[in-house]
């Protein structure tokens, strides 16, 4: 993940690092969940794990290290799965990379009324203006958020759009994984 461009802050760098990693796996991938840990704390508290992750003292310190979690279940709605997650204190944030179909805002007026979820999904999939997009969204315990969007038709690191409010619903769902009961 060393080709990640320098970004303004550690969270943006982590999102771009995850986007680059997932991009290297190709398209049509399942959702992938990542814990974000403080790199310096990881080196200090778990040096053998830091070594296995290639985080030696001489390596670039991005501030946050993404650690991929077990597979996200495919048979359960994403929001239901995220509602089951509780992170240990060592995890300072989390990120999710997921592929979806998007329509341009101009297509909203064309959506037939009264479609159920399955029919709407099929309608979007069949729409001529649909775009395949990979969204990587990260949140920190302190409320910071960042996202990266990559369109399949413009699948290049130089075409990745970043911003803190690109996917607010997913960011909210991820932030909820840090809320105390």
The residue that leads in pLDDT, 153 or 105, is: 153
Residues forming a β-bridge with 101 = 132
Determine contact, residues 160/134, Cβ cutoff 8 Å: no
Share of the chain above pLDDT 70, in %: 91
pTM exceeds 0.75, yes or no: yes
pLDDT given at position 1:
44
Lowest mean pLDDT among 60-64, 142-146, 170-174: 60-64
148-157 own/partner pairs: CB under 8 Å, 24+ apart: 148/15, 148/16, 148/18, 148/19, 150/19, 150/23, 152/27, 155/23, 155/27, 157/3, 157/5, 157/19, 157/20, 157/23
Nearest to 14 by CA among 143, 142, 133, 147: 147
> What is the rounded distance in angstroms from the CA atom of residue 28 to the CA atom of residue 152?
10
pLDDT given at position 21:
95
Structure tokens at 27: 């398209």
Three-point CA angle 148, 154, 156, nearest 5°: 65
pLDDT given at position 11:
94
pLDDT given at position 2:
45
Per-residue pLDDT, averaged over 9-36, amounts to 94
36 — pLDDT class (breaks 50, 70, 90): very high
56 — pLDDT class (breaks 50, 70, 90): low
Across the beta sheet with 64-68, the strand order is 64-68, 32-38, 91-102, 131-140, 145-151, 161-163
């Amino acid at each position: 993940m060393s080709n990640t461009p320098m970004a303004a802050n550690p969270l943006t760098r982590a999102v771009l690092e995850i986007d680059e990693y997932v991009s290297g796996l190709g398209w049509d991938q399942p959702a992938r969940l990542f814990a974000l840990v403080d790199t310096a704390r990881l080196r200090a508290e778990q040096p053998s794990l830091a070594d296995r992750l290639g985080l030696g003292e001489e390596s670039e310190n991005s501030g946050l290290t993404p650690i991929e979690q077990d597979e996200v279940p495919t048979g359960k709605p994403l929001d239901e799965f995220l509602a089951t997650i509780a992170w240990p204190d060592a995890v300072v944030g989390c990120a999710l990379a997921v592929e979806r179909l998007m329509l341009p805002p101009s297509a909203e007026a064309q959506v037939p009324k009264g479609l159920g979820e399955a029919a709407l999904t099929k309608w979007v999939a069949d729409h001529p203006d649909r775009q395949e997009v990979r969204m990587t969204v990260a949140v920190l315990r302190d409320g910071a958020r960042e996202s990266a969007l990559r369109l399949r038709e413009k699948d290049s690191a130089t075409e990745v759009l970043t911003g803190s409010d690109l996917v607010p619903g997913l960011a909210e769902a991820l932030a909820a994984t840090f809320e105390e009961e």
